[in-house]
Amino acid sequence: MENEASPEASPEAELEGESANNRPSDRSQDTAGSRVVIVDRCHTLKSQRAELVQEIQRLKWRQRACVSMLLEFAHQSDVYGYGADGQLSKRFSEQHVALCAERVESRGAAHHSLIPSPKLRGALQQMARAAEATSTEELRHFDTRLEIDVAKSPPEAAMFVIEAIRAKGWMESLSPMEDLLPKVEVAWQAYQRAEEQWRKGSGSTGSTAPQREWLSQCKRAVEAEKAAAKAQEGVKLAVAAEKLRQEQRALGMQPVPCWIFDVPEVSQVLAQRGILPACFVPADAPHVTLLQLTADGDDSAAALQLGLAPEQFAAMREALEALEGEQFEMRMTKIILEESIACAMVSLPPILPCVCRVPHVVLGKRKGASVGNPEMMLEAVKAGSNTSVTCIDLPTPRPMMGTVRLGTCSPGLYRSGERSVP
């Protein structure tokens, strides 16, 4: 791996989610002289990543003002689970393995490292089970980590990486998206044609003139059909994303007072390794939200927002005021892991009124993720209508002590529960 070399990476290896790509650029030089090094290799095991990190350190990568990007591939059906190393992480699903096997089989002899055989699926499943999650310590050796949907086509995956590099400002000389997309499409078509020749055993040693003519024709066709449409779609997506970010920021700007069941013991549990995925940030003050109030103390407005009758809201508030400072025991029954948030379902003592239909404690959130209403997700899980999350039932409900007190929470996140008022 050298700064002046640019070895080609196999697109299939990237699609299989088994390669690490370092895309450094020399920020101390002109962007026109930037170099990109692609390391095409499997890195599902810590030992494999350790070899890569050792090589980066040997080359004094960062001392040369170079940067690195770790690529990891995932499938939308991948869910969280415990690996052979005992760490909780996203695991490769059967759909993920099946997609990789299909691609290897379709490439046949053109694949750079795997050969289609009856044992292929079993070998990939064994690799998936043995995979070890990338730890926070390992990520410190890379400037950024990028997760790519393995179902993307090679051109889509390439453009996704290029846009990530553009967002980082690593290569100012990158051409606009509308100029790069046709070139990527044409390159992929040429690669497919070369693989087909390889499979047929004809090679590609003939004259380059017909190939250049074919590439030129492809380029004109792709530019005419896709450049304008993709550029317009990109603008629409950017506008929609910015609008969503503004709405999410406005939603969570002003916290409101609320009655909570404070459970500091959860923080001690979260301090243990392997409880949360490495990309999650543990909650600062784990608690169960019991009753949300308003900043101006208007009980009628608070009751209306929560869908409660005014007298029901008043009874809940008075009961909690009487219980302030009291300690009770709750029981943690189930862990719920979703793409951007981790929660624990809990069972509260009957004496505690709770506005949530599904009483819960937020354990942690993905770094940088905007999290909406966990209550709706938990209701769907409880009803059995949400199968896209990971549910871990505790063999024995874990008892934990907590205290009733007045705290703060984000507005508008909880709705009326069906728990009776004591």
The C-alpha atoms of residue 391 and residue 381 are separated, in whole angstroms, by 8
Sequence ranges of the chain with CATH classification 3.90.1740.10? 256-409
Asked if residues 289 and 355 have their Cβ atoms less than 8 Å apart, the reply is: yes
Beta-strand (E) ranges in 132-286? 144-149, 256-262, 280-282
Give me the chain's average pLDDT, please: 78
Burial class from Cβ neighbours inside 10 Å (0-12, 13-18, 19+) for residue 313 reads buried
Q: Please tell me the predicted confidence (pLDDT) of residue 415.
A: 45
Region 256-409: CATH code: 3.90.1740.10
- Least reliable range by pLDDT among 84-88, 102-106, 110-114, 144-148: 110-114
Q: Please tell me the predicted confidence (pLDDT) of residue 23.
A: 36
Contacts of 64 (CB under 8 A, 6+ apart): 3, 26
If you classify domain 1-154 with CATH, what class do you get?
Answer: alpha beta
Of 282, 308, 312, 318, the residue nearest 414 (C-alpha): 308
**The tokens 């769907």 sit on which residue?**
380
130, containing H or E segment: helix 120-130
**Overall average pLDDT of the 86-92 stretch:** 85
Q: Is residue 272's pLDDT more than 70?
A: yes
**The tokens 């250049």 sit on which residue?**
212
Share of the chain above pLDDT 70, in %: 76
Q: Please tell me the predicted confidence (pLDDT) of residue 47.
A: 92
Of 133, 57, 136, 61, the residue nearest 90 (C-alpha): 133
Contacts of 405 (CB under 8 A, 6+ apart): 259, 260, 262, 324, 325
Q: Is residue 89's pLDDT more than 80?
A: yes
**Residue 152 confidence class, pLDDT cut points 50, 70, 90:** very high
Sequence ranges of the chain with CATH classification 3.40.50? 1-154
Q: Is residue 29's pLDDT more than 70?
A: no
Q: Which comes out higher in pLDDT, residue 110 or 215?
A: 110
**Overall average pLDDT of the 174-203 stretch:** 79
Angstrom CA distances, 167 to 91, 163, 170, 285, 312, stand at 28, 6, 8, 33, 51
Q: What is the pTM of this model?
A: 0.48
